[in-house]
């Protein structure tokens, strides 16, 4: 029996969704959503964004042996900084972690949120239980920072999402040392009349294929009853990721199920990571309605074929 629902979307939802909900969190909190997965030595680690009752978010760790059934650790693994330079900029929480492995080191780019706005921060971890902050790597007004898994032309590369002229576009920036970022270039902007017409941002650490970097991103369409967050794909040139090979016209996942429609922010599917399994299946982890953590799958080859056309 197929455990995944075949609906109207390219991605197949797991029938057991949501895989992590409020009742699975061992400590008091408001919501759980937007988790970033890593698979290491057969164990799945999922770094979850948990919003507390006060409104600030922290990160909790969930582990699993099959990527579907997770157990959440009893206390958060990363909370807003209590001292040092980070304290000032994490006063309203830490949000939307994205883990990227580069040469055996696990980096986490996340949003540091404070009274000054959202800015991108960088930390690293060896075991997913303890995190060492490295630096604040953007000014405010920027989020959805995601590292590429390898250097390109001897430089680290990241997606980021500054808002200029009120427009949230995806940009690419470069760094020689992960601390100082620049050479920023626009990658792509919202497309009028499409599912991603209002705002876009990178979602999943880019996956290298022989056709180019496959990026799963989020797009927002504004409607008379509020925004709708969807997921789509773009393929970028391997040597120069500011060059778009193909940007799909259709989204691959739209909010339809109750756990995506109903929650603190309704009509949201928001991915923060994916696992490519040895059998060619891609598991995409996403937050539903800013209140649940869900997974959907697809054959990676099918997603590439779709994304190239």
Which residues of this chain interact with ligand BMA, rule CB under 6 A?
34, 95-96, 229, 265, 268, 270, 287, 290
Q: Report the alpha-carbon distance of residue 96 to residue 91 in Å, rounded.
A: 15
Closest CA to 157 of 138, 182, 191, 133: 182
> Least distance to ligand BMA from the beta carbon of 275, Å?
20
Q: How far apart are the first and last CA of the chain?
A: 31
By beta-carbon proximity to ligand BMA, the closer residue of 57 and 175 is 57
Token pair in block for residue 25: 């969190």
> Least distance to ligand BMA from the beta carbon of 1, Å?
32
> Least distance to ligand BMA from the beta carbon of 59, Å?
13
Q: Which helix (H) or strand (E) covers residue 261, if one does?
A: helix 258-261
Q: Is 277 helix (H, G, I), strand (E, B) or coil?
A: coil
By beta-carbon proximity to ligand BMA, the closer residue of 59 and 300 is 59
By beta-carbon proximity to ligand BMA, the closer residue of 67 and 287 is 287
Q: Which helix (H) or strand (E) covers residue 308, if one does?
A: helix 300-308
Token pair in block for residue 260: 């995506």
By beta-carbon proximity to ligand BMA, the closer residue of 99 and 235 is 99
> Least distance to ligand BMA from the beta carbon of 229, Å?
5
Phi, psi for residue 22 in degrees, rounded to 5:
-55, -40
What is the chain's alpha carbon radius of gyration, rounded to the nearest angstrom?
18
Q: Report the alpha-carbon distance of residue 228 to residue 223 in Å, rounded.
A: 7
> Least distance to ligand BMA from the beta carbon of 92, Å?
12
Q: Report the alpha-carbon distance of residue 73 to residue 136 in Å, rounded.
A: 27
By beta-carbon proximity to ligand BMA, the closer residue of 95 and 260 is 95
> Least distance to ligand BMA from the beta carbon of 89, Å?
16
By beta-carbon proximity to ligand BMA, the closer residue of 229 and 285 is 229
Q: Report the alpha-carbon distance of residue 295 to residue 15 in Å, rounded.
A: 9
């Amino acid at each position: 029996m197929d455990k995944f629902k075949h609906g109207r979307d390219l991605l197949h939802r797991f029938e057991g969704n949501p895989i992590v909900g409020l009742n699975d969190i061992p400590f008091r909190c408001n919501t759980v959503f937007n988790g970033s997965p890593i698979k290491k030595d057969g164990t799945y680690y999922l770094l979850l964004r948990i919003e507390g009752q006060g409104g600030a978010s922290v990160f909790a760790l969930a582990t699993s042996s099959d990527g579907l059934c997770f157990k959440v650790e009893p206390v958060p693994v990363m909370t807003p900084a209590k001292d040092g330079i980070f304290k000032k900029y994490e006063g309203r929480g830490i949000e939307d972690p994205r883990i990227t492995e580069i040469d055996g080191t696990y980096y986490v780019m996340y949003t540091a949120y404070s009274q000054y706005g959202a800015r991108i921060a960088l930390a690293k971890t060896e075991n997913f239980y303890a995190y060492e902050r490295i630096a604040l790597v953007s000014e405010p007004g920027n989020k959805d920072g995601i590292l590429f898994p390898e250097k390109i032309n001897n430089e680290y590369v990241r997606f980021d999402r500054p808002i200029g002229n009120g427009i949230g576009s995806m940009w690419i920036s470069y760094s020689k040392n992960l601390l100082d970022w620049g050479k920023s270039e626009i990658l792509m902007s919202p497309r009028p009349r499409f599912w991603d017409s209002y705002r876009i941002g990178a979602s999943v650490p880019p996956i290298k294929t022989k056709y180019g970097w496959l990026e799963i991103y989020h797009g927002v369409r504004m409607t008379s009853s509020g925004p709708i967050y969807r997921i789509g794909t773009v393929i970028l040139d391997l040597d120069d990721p500011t060059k778009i090979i193909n940007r799909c016209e259709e989204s691959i996942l739209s909010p339809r199920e109750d756990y995506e429609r109903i929650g603190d922010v309704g009509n949201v599917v928001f991915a923060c990571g994916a696992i490519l399994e040895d059998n060619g299946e891609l598991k995409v982890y996403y937050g539903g309605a800013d209140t649940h953590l869900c997974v959907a799958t697809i054959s990676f080859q099918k997603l590439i074929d779709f994304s190239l056309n």
